[in-house]
Structure 1
Amino acid sequence: MSPCAPGRWLLALALAALLAGCSLPPLEGRSESRALSAAEARETPLGRAVGDLAAPRPGLTGVHTLEDPREAFAARVQMAQLAERTLDVQYYIWRDDITGHLLLEALRAAADRGVRVRLLLDDYGHAGLDAELAALDAHPDVEVRLFNPFPFRAFKPLGFITDFSRANRRMHNKSFTADNAITILGGRNVGDEYFGATDGVLFADLDVLAMGPAVAQVSSAFDAYWVSASSYPIASLVAPPPAEVLAAIRQRTALVERSEPAATYKQAVRELPCYGSLVRKDYSLVWAPAHLVVDDPSKGLALAQPEQLLLHHMAEAVGVPARSLDLVSPYFVPTDAGTDYFAGLARTGVRVRILTNSLAATDVLVVHSGYARHRQPLLAAGVALYELRPDPREQAAKAARRDEGPRMPGGSGSSGSSLHAKTFGVDMERVFVGSFNFDPRSAKLNTELGLVIDSPELAGAIAHVFEVRAPRSSWELRLDPGSGGLRWVDGSGRSVAVEPMTSWWQRAAVRLLEPLPIDWML
């Protein structure tokens, strides 16, 4: 035996012990719970207010769009404050930042009043919050579960090595439901960048607040995810924090609560009139038929059948566009099949308009590479393409605040606003608002949900984006009639042949990534 052999054996034994500790705990013994029944929901103050509003409109769902990030934050807090019986909350990302902590405290305050809180988070998107979540879970009226968790908590990326197939499938759903009476769903995660509270990338996003029949569908979907084979109680994965950690959490929470940004958000909650208006029955809503489309949670373990997927339900609910398709997607990776679909629609006379992030605005450079090579075929077929233009004033202001070095490819590609809304309108009659990106990851890997709403009014609002707002805030892409190359045209008609507001290394990185067969992961 060589002198080094004992060291190798010890290393092998240590690795074996590490991997042995990377197995998930059993699911037996999970608590059982369900959303409020329709009758129970009607007995809550929110349920009675919704019932009074919905009574003259049987079968219709009331919808209010949440574009303003401060209103979107305040709406969630007010729902937590007005809930009497239950809060069911489901998110992909929950940041360890100011708005993340404020919303955790809103959930805790609701539980202190006796509201049952169920919080289901994807385990990839809450870095640094294990102790806070475990402390929240210790509350007698709160339970926290993690979707497709990483058993080795100290270094989660190890899970991609030991169980890649499962770890690569994430829960991308976003919903916030109070008393099975009102829900918020859409594209926003929980974090400062989604609520306009950061100097970094500010995601232009869209949620809908809904009440009526669609809420029961959201609650039913939440129940299915809550009891799925991918949802693990955090108590089975994270030990309760010791007293000194709890004290540090309380101290940090107090500092966050007293901070100037927190004061701004608390003011937004106080100033938002919508829920008082709801109780007074003068709240403005669009009432329309609406239907939830959602992936079966078994998709998280690659066990869902095609008819259980959101794409199948969406095709049934939306149908084939006959006149127009207006699509807004931050991470648009159409693949060859999708490019053929959109091009085919355009060639048959359907007006197809697509708004996505430019290279200057995207926060995920590698995803832009999966879109870039499809631009010329789409334009050649008659598809209109718009790419969001970052506000140069935001970039200049941020550059003045700190001296920035060059960013590495794959990191944040923008220092200003970035598109994050996921919505589309069909034939000026129907709209979709949800978490679904038009990319292979949303279609095949991540779980998603969204609301299909039969509303010409909301479909017209999406068309307005392309007719008024997109020309002002985006570049329209065109083919150069001479060379066949791309040109980016701003609202004043000025055009350039190089991706605007980008550096040479960003463009070089995209060109290097474009030929790689990685679309299926994007």
Structure 2
Amino acid sequence: MTPVRWTHLLALVGALLLGSGCTTMSTGKADRAQGVAFDARDRVVLCPRPADACASPSALRELGDRAIAASTPEAPRHYALLLDRGPDALLARVNLIRAARRSIDLQTYIFDEDDAGHLVLDELISAARRGVRVRVLVDQLSALKKASTLASLSSAHANFDLRVYNPMFNDSRMSYPKYLMASLCCWDRLNQRMHSKLLLIDDAVGITGGRNYQDDYYDWSPEYDFRDRDVLVAGPVAGEMRENFEAFWTSPISVPAERLDDVGRLLLREGAPPLEHAAFIAPERVTQMSNDASDVTRVETLAHAAMPVGTVHFIADVPEKHQGENDTAENAGQRLRDIVESAQTEVLMQTPYLVLSEDAQDMFRAMHQRASAPRVTISTNSLASTDAFIVYALSYKYKRRYLREFGFHIYEFKPFPGAAPIDLEAIAAGAEEEAKRAELLAGAEEEQRRKKQPPQQQSEGVATRYFGSGGGGANAPVPLERAGVRIGLHAKSIVVDERIGVVGTHNFDPRGDNYNTESMVVIEDPAFARALADSIRGDMQPVNAWVIAPRDKPPVFPGIDYSLGKVSESLPLFDLWPWRYATSYDFVHGPDCPAPLLRDDPNFRRCYTPVGDFPEVSLGLKGLTTRIFTAFGAGLAPIL
């Protein structure tokens, strides 16, 4: 592009930014805005017992005390609890927040202002008011939709602090013009996101894994829910978690919410807004969860499933990942590859997005060429189940490479799994509540229209949320052939030789290696590894997943078909060869096929039937778009 064109483009973007109010507050104004927030903070502590801040008794919190008491520097002791079910994961979080005696540190990528998000926020504020120090760190791009929410939280209580990681243009949210400008001027920084997730209680018990704070992660969405996984760990490893959180909290790119431009301007213009939120969409379900989180029997049952484990490590990126002296090989992605590369017999990996970094591809190719190569089994999303069809398109592009060059055994998750650990009753109950509320609000809106009064904004939001707009966004799930609550895989876990188990945030993808910060718990314990392996293998059962295997060879010129397909796959653009190497197969149970088989078993085709490349998908516009991204989207791999 010529200098003149660059000038025109920058002038256009500058005009857009000026039109959207993009002017940075001075340091003096930021100081005054922070002063408004600090002056408004409540300093009353409701608990008369500073020693424990009136913490609720909790069998989950006690795991930390027991592990630390039994530990020595030479022999640390830990407990680990897999949280496979969404309601259990939310219950554990709420229970632990109520059980906190001194401190709560929460770090997340997504923090939505829906029922699950508001429930947790309410609990965090309650903990601060009874004397617990609460610190919340969220990523700018995906957390807390309104500047007014951040202004309210930054002014809520002296024990509550909120910071935002890597706020582009020092705002809590970005308009489209600002996003365009960030893409042009600061591409690397824009993509440097905090994908790390952690809830740390009293530096004794921590939870990390795939879940964010949004209804979809706890079986509370009536349309699309994630099959996800967290791990709760109790013991000295919590000290490593604290150190990593401190590095993020004190980083220059973690900005106090009240010092952000849009939040600060609101504070200076209107003062500290009251701390409130819209009514819960499904209040009965929220109340039931709140009660369950204080149910001693339920919590003890959950804690009883925790197992004593051997060596535990917390592996996490630093906030300034890939900047200056921190751009080293010792990041979370490299350490994760080291663990995988140590496999002798088997790697069992679960990732929602099967798009591998170049380093990971080199590693798996070399592992497959060993004299005794370990079996690599992958559990991932199908096009029908994924929330990111563009990412799936690249996974689809490289199926031949994955099967033939890397030797993968791939199982793709079904959108309506028959036996996944999803609480369909909770989803149905919430959907029924939401439908009733939407009906009432629609009636209220009709009454207002008859009276020629404008409808309330809250009513519009609820109605839109329940009934949907029909669009769903460019990267929303694809349309399916039948209706129902769709389930998408979001868990990120690895088991090596059934001796090492890994649960964390890393998708084993280029973004995790190159842009996002990631975190994970690594547990070297055979019993834990077997339990994790059983959980992943459950998602690969025929009722839950299709098998990806080579399709039957064409009767004419099969060698030419394969060679042309391979050449087309290797092209960064114009991968247009229509006959793909692999397709999806479904297991057909019968007298001759009593149990599932591996794709390379001689009897595989007798027991499995091909169901097409995109089973369950209604091949409309997004089916075509998937093919287009397969052909033209290889250059997007590093950021997807």
Partner of 1:482: 553
Distance verdict in 2 for CA 1:165–1:337, change over 3 Å: closer
Amino acid at match of 1:496: V
1:51 corresponds, among 55, 65, 85, to 65
The residue type equivalent to 1:185 in the other structure is T
Contact 1:98 1:261 in 2 (8 A): no
Asked if structure 1 preserves the Cα contact closer than 8 Å seen for 2:380 and 2:411, the reply is yes
Distance 2:13 2:499 in 1: 63
In the alignment, what sits opposite 1:507? 623
User: In the TM superposition, what whole-angstrom CA distance separates every residue of 1:330-352 from its partner, at most 9, and x where no partner exists?
Assistant: 01211455334324323432100
Residue 462 of structure 2: aligned partner: none
User: CA offset at residue 462 of structure 1?
Assistant: 3.7
Query: Does the CA contact (< 8 Å) of 1:93 and 1:122 recur in 2?
Result: yes
Separation in 1, partners of 2:26, 2:115: 31
Alpha-carbon contact 2:81-2:305 (below 8 Å) kept: no
- Structure 2 residue aligned with 1:455: 525
The RMSD of aligned alpha carbons is 3.6
Question: What runs of 5+ residues in structure 2 fail to find an aligned partner?
Answer: 1-10, 36-50, 419-423, 436-465, 480-484, 555-561, 563-580, 589-607
CA distance in 2, matches of 1:378, 1:295: 28
Cα pair distance change 1:129/1:76, threshold 3 Å: farther
Q: CA deviation at 1:413?
A: 3.2
Larger Rg: 2
Shift of 1:353: 0.3
Decide whether the 8 Å contact of 2:198 with 2:207 is kept in 1: yes
The alpha-carbon deviation at position 155 of structure 1 amounts to: 3.6
Moved more, 402-411 or 204-213: 402-411
The alpha carbon displacement at 1:465 in A equals 4.4
| 8 Å Cα contact 1:328-1:423 kept in structure 2 | yes
Select between 22-31 and 436-445 the one with higher mean Cα deviation.
22-31
Q: Structure 1, residues 11-43: CA drift from partner, whole Å, max 9, x if none?
A: 977856868625896999999xxxxxxxx99xx
Instruction: Show the 5 A alignment for 1:100-499.
Output: 100-138=117-155, 139-150=157-168, 151-153=170-172, 155-157=174-176, 158-162=178-182, 163-237=186-260, 238-239=263-264, 246-247=273-274, 249-250=275-276, 252-253=277-278, 255-256=279-280, 259-271=283-295, 273=297, 284-299=306-321, 304-316=326-338, 319-335=341-357, 337-348=359-370, 349-381=373-405, 382-391=407-416, 409-413=474-478, 416-465=486-535, 467-472=537-542, 473-483=544-554, 485-492=581-588, 493-499=608-614
Report the secondary structure of 2:141's partner residue. Answer: strand
- In the aligned structure 2, how far is the partner of 1:229 from the partner of 1:276? 41
- Residues 1:276 and 1:383: Cα distance change in structure 2 (over 3 Å): closer
Question: Is the alpha carbon distance of 1:201 and 1:49 closer, same or farther for their aligned partners in structure 2, counting shifts above 3 Å?
Answer: closer
Deviation (angstroms), 1:52:
3.0
The amino acid that maps onto 1:223 is E
C-alpha separation in 1, matches of 2:13 and 2:78 = 60
Report the number of matched residues: 497
Distance of aligned partners of 1:272 and 1:103 in 2 relative to their CA distance in 1, 3 Å threshold: farther
Q: Decide whether aligned partners of structure 1 residues 305 and 318 sit closer, same or farther in structure 2, where only a CA change above 3 A counts.
A: same
2 CA distance for matches of 1:467 and 1:197?
25
Distance (Å, rounded) in 1 between the aligned partners of 2:471 and 2:173 = 30
Structure 2 residue identity aligned to 1:52: R
CA distance in 2, matches of 1:14, 1:453: 50
Kindly provide the CA deviation profile for residues 469-493 of structure 1, in whole angstroms up to 9, marking residues without a partner as x: 4123000001023146322112323
Q: 1:24 to 1:176 in 2, by over 3 A?
A: farther
Q: 1:235-275, CA deviations, whole angstroms, 9 ceiling, x for partnerless residues?
A: 1011365879845x53x35x329822312322332346465
Residue 83 (structure 1) aligns with: 100
Can you give the 5+ residue segments of structure 1 that lack an aligned partner in the other structure? 1-8, 32-39
Corresponding letter in the other structure for 1:481: D
Q: Distance in 2 between matches of 1:69 and 1:149?
A: 30
Checking the alignment, whether the CA contact within 8 Å between 2:163 and 2:257 is kept in structure 1 is yes
Most deviating of 360-369 and 298-307: 298-307
Note the alpha carbon deviations across 1:411-452, whole angstroms, 9 max, x for none: 223750000000001111101110101111111001010011
Q: Is the 8 A contact 2:197 2:209 kept in 1?
A: yes
How far apart are 1:369 and its partner, in Å?
A: 1.7
Matches within 5 A, 1:23-42: none
Which amino acid in 2 is paired with 1:386?
Y
Q: 373-382 vs 415-424, which deviates more?
A: 373-382
Show structure 1 runs of 4+ deviating over 6 A. 9-14, 17-20, 23-31, 44-48, 242-245, 400-404
After TM superposition, give the deviation of residue 502 of structure 1 in Å.
1.3
Q: Distance in 1 between matches of 2:282 and 2:628?
A: 47
3-state SS of paired residue (1:372): helix
Deviations 1:94-142 (A, max 9, x none): 0110010010000000001010101000111124243223212211111
Query: How far is 1:405 from its partner?
Result: 5.1
1:99 to 116, 136, 160: 116
What SS does the corresponding residue of 2:80 show, helix, strand or coil?
strand
* Secondary structure at the counterpart of residue 167 of structure 2: coil
Q: Which amino acid in 1 is paired with 2:210?
A: G
Q: Following the alignment from structure 1 to structure 2, what is the Cα–Cα distance between the partners of residues 512 and 338?
A: 25
Q: 1:50 to 1:303 in 2, by over 3 A?
A: same
What CA distance in whole angstroms lies between the structure 1 residues aligned with 2:77 and 2:92?
22
Which whole-Å CA distance do the structure 1 matches of 2:354 and 2:142 have between them?
A: 21
Kept in 2: contact 1:380–1:479 (CA 8 A): no
For the 8 Å contact 1:317–1:452, the answer to whether it is kept is no
Distance in 1, matches of 2:495 and 2:517, equals: 22
On the 8 A contact 1:75/1:272 being kept in 2, the answer is: no
**2:639 aligned partner, one-letter code:** M
Distance 1:447 1:223, change over 3 A: same
Task: Measure the CA separation in 1 of the matches of 2:235 and 2:78.
Answer: 5
Q: Is the 8 A contact 2:133 2:159 kept in 1?
A: yes
Mean Cα deviation higher: 51-60 or 290-299: 51-60
In structure 2, do the counterparts of structure 1 residues 410 and 289 end up closer, same or farther at CA, with 3 Å as the change threshold? same
Deviation of 1:497 (Å): 2.9
CA distance in 1, matches of 2:283, 2:259: 34
Q: Report Cα offsets for 1:369-400 as digits up to 9, x if no partner.
A: 22111111221243101110111799xx99x9
Q: TM-score, normalised by structure 1?
A: 0.85
1:432/1:451 contact within 8 Å kept:
yes
Q: Which moved more, 1:405-414 or 1:258-267?
A: 405-414
